[in-house]
Amino acid sequence: MKSVKVFITDWCPHCKRALNWIEEVKTENPKYKDIKVEVIDEEKQPEVSKQYDYYYVPTYYVENKKVFEGGTTKDIVLKAFEEASK
């Protein structure tokens, strides 16, 4: 099982929804409960976020592969988790 990194900012409404959907998806789908999710606030952790190539938040990486960038839906969260479960 791979880990998921989610790049956010604390003022972004899409990021807040993404964090809620992450919890919801993990609760609704037991097969995803053990996926490690690392939330990185790009403004509080610039030394980490500068190592990744993205422009918009939220951005999802599975391991070191970008899978989605900008905007979000519950389906995008599900797809990121599905990628991580492979």
Q: What is the pTM of this model?
A: 0.93
Residues 6+ apart with CB under 8 A from 63: 2, 3, 84
- Tens digit of each residue's pLDDT (9 = 90 or more) over 32-83: 989 999 999 999 999 999 999 999 999 999 999 999 999 889 999 999 999 9
- Cα–Cα distance for residue pair 14/20, rounded to 1 Å: 10
